[in-house]
Amino acid sequence: MDDKKIFVTRPSMPSFEEYTEEIKSIWESQWLTNNGAEHEKLKKELQDYLGVEHVELLTNGHMALELSLQALGLKGEVITTPFTFVSTTNAIVRNGLKPVFCDIRPDDYTMDPDKIESLITENTCAIMPVHVYGNVCQIEKIGEIARKHHLAVIYDAAHTFGIRYKGRGIAGYGDASCFSFHATKVFNTIEGGAVCCNAEMAETFGKKLACLKDFGIVDEETVSWIGPNAKMNEFCAAMGLCNLRHVNDEIARRKLVNDRYRKNLEGIEGIQLNAVQKDVTPNYAYFPVVFDKEKFGADRDEVFAKLKENNIFARKYFYPAVNAMDCYKEYDPMETPVAYCMSHSVLTLPMYASLGMDEIDRICEVIRACGK
């Protein structure tokens, strides 16, 4: 048995020299946070890279979600997905809003637009879908429903950095899109996040966000809203500037990992690989695999355990579904049967740019040996 441990992810980092070069100017300016030069530079570069008119940088992706909802001044119910990281739902609840869970599509795991309208009540104020694993939601259908019922659409775009849909950056869709720049994401600022929106939204919503992330302070003598502290500091922005120089290469290398996995696992009965979507330029953020025990011969938990025995650490991501978690026990996970089923049968395999081809082959060999 090969003993070298393989973890599910490994953060992308610039060289030590590149980073230290980038942070030199911080010693010269002695400006550590509060919209410093690195922050402003990263903001502009991200606007270009993501192809969006406004970017508001924040401490993390969770605050992007939480402050977007607060900045819109919403009240009532928000339709969302249970097949996500718990942050999405927590952001809704921590704003005093009520999450209403909509089931997902079985092929790309995003919110099923055909199931949204039956969940709309007079209290519904917004839809918060998730481009899960980097799979783009049914943007047109969701937008149509939102317009018809006058609902805001805030995308959790934490998995979608750099993705383009129909030739346009994903950040430009919906009323706002929220990104995470956490260490484990395709692009990282160590910890960090951003809210993106168009120029029209930036006028009111964007300006409010800029105050909200700084306690709600408008100027020295005016505090208009009750905000937390969610500002990105200069060291994180500097990391972002370095990583942004390499992100295209990062995605290209992830594609090689993706292709190798597909070559190994495609066509095996009972294994469902991630959807390949039309009109989408992907970022290969994750490699989810869904196991059908009847057809494959082993279920997700058996494969997970076997991989672990072989020092390979995959993740049951997302398990449990959010509406099956302890803190959301007033919900019945069986009300979203597809999400329930997927959360019990999906495994995300190790995925990062420096994962070796031989390591991928070793992972796939262990998986294949679990089958019948």
| Residues making contact with ligand PLP (CB under 6 A) | 60-62, 84-85, 87-88, 130, 156, 158-159, 180, 182, 193
Of residues 199, 193, 150, the one with CA closest to residue 46: 193
Q: Which is nearer to ligand PLP, 62 or 213 (CB)?
A: 62
What's the rounded Cα separation, in Å, for the pair 312 and 331? 34
Answer yes or no: are the C-beta atoms of 28 and 368 closer than 8 Å.
no
| Least distance from ligand PLP to the Cβ atom of residue 296, Å | 27
Nearer to ligand PLP, 70 or 88 (CB): 88
Counting every residue written for the chain, the total comes to: 372
**Rounded distance, CA 296 to CA 13, Å?**
37
Nearer to ligand PLP, 61 or 162 (CB): 61
Question: Which of left, alpha, beta for 131 (phi over 0: left; psi -120 to 50: alpha)?
Answer: beta
Q: DSSP state, 211?
A: H
Q: Which is nearer to ligand PLP, 193 or 364 (CB)?
A: 193
- Let me know: does 367 contact 266? Beta carbons within 8 Å: no
Tokens (6 digits) for 163: 């993705």
Q: Is residue 129 helix, strand or coil?
A: coil
Helix (H/G/I), strand (E/B), else coil: 106: coil
Residue whose CB is less far from ligand PLP, 112 or 156: 156
The smaller minimum CB distance to ligand PLP, of residues 190 and 271, is found at 190
End-to-end CA gap in the chain: 21
Spatial separation of the C-alpha atoms in residues 133 and 283, rounded to whole Å? 9
Can you tell me whether residue 190 is helix, strand or coil? coil
Residue 186 or 257: the one with the smaller Cβ distance to ligand PLP is: 186
Q: How far is the CB of 328 from ligand PLP (least distance, A)?
A: 16
73's enclosing H/E stretch is: none
- Shortest CB 133 distance to ligand PLP, Å: 9
